[in-house]
């Protein structure tokens, strides 16, 4: 869902009220509600399958326990991810969203196990290169994905302490390396709004991650802080309260 400034509303982990995160049910509801994009997290099972899970263990969001990398796909699929939903594979998500017009943002974790080439080849198999945005967290991964398929758009998940001053040189390094979009934390933007204009001068739109759960924005004042991010000029917002953001944009 976008407003006149084409702000991209990204459902973080497909989170919508009443649906378990990172499940096909949540993704279907995100599509039904008209969100522009869905962010998902890629993990690898012990037998090499790519699945959708935020944490490196299944403890938080399923009725099981243990590291996802220590489990086979069959073992992962046996778990209840909430309301009877199962942890989906990347292929299942590509198939589910095919033809929906919704973009898929991939959070590329740095804790090992993920085969970047397999991610790209699966994306190509479903003819989804135009509908997928890859979110690398390192320059090495950014360059690797650009080499594997130059048509894939990339959003740099710039690292660094969220509640300390931004490392501008690190941000610029991702821009120079060819990232199409730059993700900055809300506290960085609030403290230094000129970062958005600086990125624009480099030809890089700024997106942000604005979750209530992880306090990227103040959970007591989410609407006000989302509105301020919009006012300051961000062009995409990844959030666990996408309905609230869409409502704010609809009234502007």
pLDDT of residue 2 exceeding 60 = no
Give residue-wise pLDDT tens across range 59-98. Answer: 999 999 999 999 999 999 999 999 999 999 999 999 999 9
This prediction's pTM: 0.96
Q: What are all long-range contacts of 55-64, with beta carbons under 8 Å and residues at least 24 apart?
A: 56/109, 56/111, 58/87, 61/20, 61/21, 61/22, 62/87
Which one, of 157, 215, 145, 154, lies nearest residue 183 by Cα? Answer: 157
CA 158 to chain centre: 13
Give residue-wise pLDDT tens across range 140-193. Answer: 999 999 999 999 999 999 999 999 999 999 999 999 999 999 999 999 999 999
122 token code pair: 């699966």
In CATH terms, the fold of domain 8-251 is TIM Barrel (3.20.20)
The pLDDT, as a whole number, for residue 1 is: 37
CA 14 to chain centre: 9
């Amino acid at each position: 869902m976008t407003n006149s400034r084409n702000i991209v509303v990204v459902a973080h982990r497909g989170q919508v009220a009443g649906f378990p995160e990172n499940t096909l049910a949540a993704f279907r509801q995100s599509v039904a509600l008209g969100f522009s994009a869905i962010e998902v997290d890629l993990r690898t099972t012990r037998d090499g399958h790519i699945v959708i899970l935020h944490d490196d263990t299944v403890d938080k969001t399923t009725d099981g326990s243990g590291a996802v990398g220590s489990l086979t796909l069959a073992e992962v699929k046996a778990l209840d991810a909430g309301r009877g939903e199962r942890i989906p594979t990347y292929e299942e998500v590509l198939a589910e969203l095919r033809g929906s017009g919704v973009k898929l943002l991939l959070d590329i974790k740095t804790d090992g196990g993920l085969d970047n080439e397999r991610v790209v080849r699966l994306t190509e198999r479903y003819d989804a290169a135009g509908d997928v945005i890859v979110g690398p967290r390192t320059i090495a991964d950014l360059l690797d994905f650009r080499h594997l398929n130059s048509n894939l758009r990339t959003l740099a998940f710039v690292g660094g302490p969220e509640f300390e001053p931004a490392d501008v040189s690190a941000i610029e390094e991702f821009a120079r390396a060819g990232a199409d979009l730059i993700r900055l934390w809300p506290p960085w933007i609030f403290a230094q709004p000129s970062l958005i204009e600086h990125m624009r001068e480099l030809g890089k739109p700024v997106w942000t991650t604005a979750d209530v759960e992880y306090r990227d924005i103040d959970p007591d004042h989410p609407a006000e802080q989302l509105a301020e991010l919009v006012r300051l000029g961000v062009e995409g917002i990844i959030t666990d309260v996408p309905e609230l953001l869409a409502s704010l944009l609809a009234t502007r």
